Amino acid sequence: MDLSLGELFNKYGSDKDRNGYTAFYEPLFKNIRTQQIFLLEIGIGTMIPGAPSSMVGYALEGYKPGGSLRAWRDYFPKGQILGSDIQPDTQFSEDRISTVLANSTNRDEMDRVLGNRSFHIIIDDGSHYDEHQLQTLKNLWWRLRNGGYYIIEDVVANSRIPTDFRKEIQEFVGPNARMFFTEAKNVLIISKERVARRRNGTRRARGVNNGTRHAPRSNGSPSDEANS
């Protein structure tokens, strides 16, 4: 029998269910569950004691790095799951899961390891510092496909994401993106609207999110081929 998303997080020892995240992830993703989605998660889950944002002390029993990646892999039966982290103990590959070693706040590093890959879902569960979350969004937003979701987890109580940075984020993602916080106000979800097409099939430029303004500096636009 298929396990629910919450059961999968718990099975693999991620703390996402315990943090209450299943409550919004399940309704958000249930309609795309069976699609061939590409998901990028920043923060694989180091078990090095004392490392920044280590899972030591937070992980459920039996955890090994990549708990949430395995949960996503099982939840999306056709999904391709990619994790990025700065700690070497997080690197592994398994069926439909791969990992890269890169700092999400460094645009050049991310571009080097990701090439021109794009994603339907990008989740930032990395350092949890607001400045890093903002920079990571700026580095990765252009890689989010139209109709996709960009999620910043663990927006802490004194974070500037909902306050000082909010306007900057809204301007950066542009008018075709919708931003909303979860009920507990600790997770920001940004959806990138699909670009409308005219009857004759041409794209209607409806703002900045038609893949041009935040396009990569040198390596082309996101494409399906790049992911396959």
Ligand X SMILES: C[S@@+](CC[C@H](N)C(=O)[O-])C[C@H]1O[C@@H](n2cnc3c(N)ncnc32)[C@H](O)[C@@H]1O
Helix (H, G, I), strand (E, B) or coil at 168: helix
Can residue 118 be called a binding residue for ligand X (CB under 6 A)? Answer: no
**Contact between 180 and 173 (Cβ < 8 Å):** no
CA–CA separation, 57 and 45 (whole Å): 12
How far is residue 159 from each of residues 24, 107, 124, 134, 143, measured CA to CA in Å? 20, 22, 15, 11, 25
**Contact between 43 and 1 (Cβ < 8 Å):** no
* In the complex, minimum distance from the CB of residue 20 to ligand X, in angstroms, rounded to a whole number: 13
Residues of span 65-94 touching ligand X by CB under 6 A: 67-68, 84-87, 90
H or E stretch at 192: strand 188-192
Can residue 14 be called a binding residue for ligand X (CB under 6 A)? Answer: yes
Total interface residues for ligand X by CB under 6 A: 26
* In the complex, minimum distance from the CB of residue 190 to ligand X, in angstroms, rounded to a whole number: 18
* In the complex, minimum distance from the CB of residue 89 to ligand X, in angstroms, rounded to a whole number: 8
Residues of span 151-170 touching ligand X by CB under 6 A: none
Active site residues: 128
Residues that bind ligand X (CB under 6 A): 14, 16, 41-46, 51-53, 55, 67-68, 84-87, 90, 103-105, 125-127, 132
